[in-house]
Structure 1
Amino acid sequence: MTALVVDDITVSYGRLTALRGVTLTVDEGEILFVTGPNGAGKSTLLNAIAGVVPPGSGSIMIDGARITGAAPEDIARRGFSLVPEGRNVFGALTIEENLKVGTGMRADRKTIAGDLDRVYQEFPMLAERRHSPAGMLSGGQQQCWSLAAR
């Protein structure tokens, strides 16, 4: 099943065109890696998918539903969220509490435990320290957590 379709999107900031005619498809279970030099449009692409910046043309679909122009929170409810640079942890909360912060908006509450198990399998160090304050993680570990939490 196709999870994400970006079809011929263009994004401009005033007179500057940041993306022109970008098309990509990501199937369920597939991982897409976006890379390029500074100014190539990586962040703009992700911001457009997340609903932070509107495409001037083209369309974006998640699980067959058109999300072009939808609010970021509606897109996040569909399962797409942006992982910004930085640490972004609540230092006083435990690692597990940090991981659960974003689950409040989920409609499929029964799958949360399985998702946490998958995070812990992918990042065993987080499993070992799940009851430790997230602020005690090193900077690199906090960035790793930030990725896992999304």
Structure 2
Amino acid sequence: MFNKILLASDGSEHAIEAARKAGELAQKGNRPLVTIVYVVDIETSKSDVISSHSLTEVHMIRNQRMKETQEVLEKMDVLSEIIVLKGNPGAEIVKKANKEEYEVVVIGSRGLNALQEMVLGSVSHRVAKGANCPVLIVK
């Protein structure tokens, strides 16, 4: 089915569900590599550091979130890699998807920051509008 899958993840509950769906799509393809993209939002990264004890702790939390996402795919026998980007999540995911011509983007309907979604509009909505390929938004 799809052989070039981009999975946008922030480690949230919806992102874990999106990982399961990306795994199902991958299982129907010819053993594709699922690229997990995590975007460090410049707007919230400063407050993350301030609210934690150290920058190292912030990195450990982010790595744990991505590890959980990757483990979902590993349990499904799906190969994956993790890419970390910095910037506006919606814009960076769209840029990656379009530049590298992914066949599908899989993304959770909501992320970790509900307030930001209400004020700025959801990342998944921005990706759906901007990506040149199908976007599967998972609840």
TM-score where L is the length of structure 2: 0.28
**Larger RCO: Structure 1 or Structure 2 (Cα < 8 Å, ≥ 6 residues apart)?**
2
Larger radius of gyration: 1
TM-score where L is the length of structure 1: 0.27
Higher helix share: 2
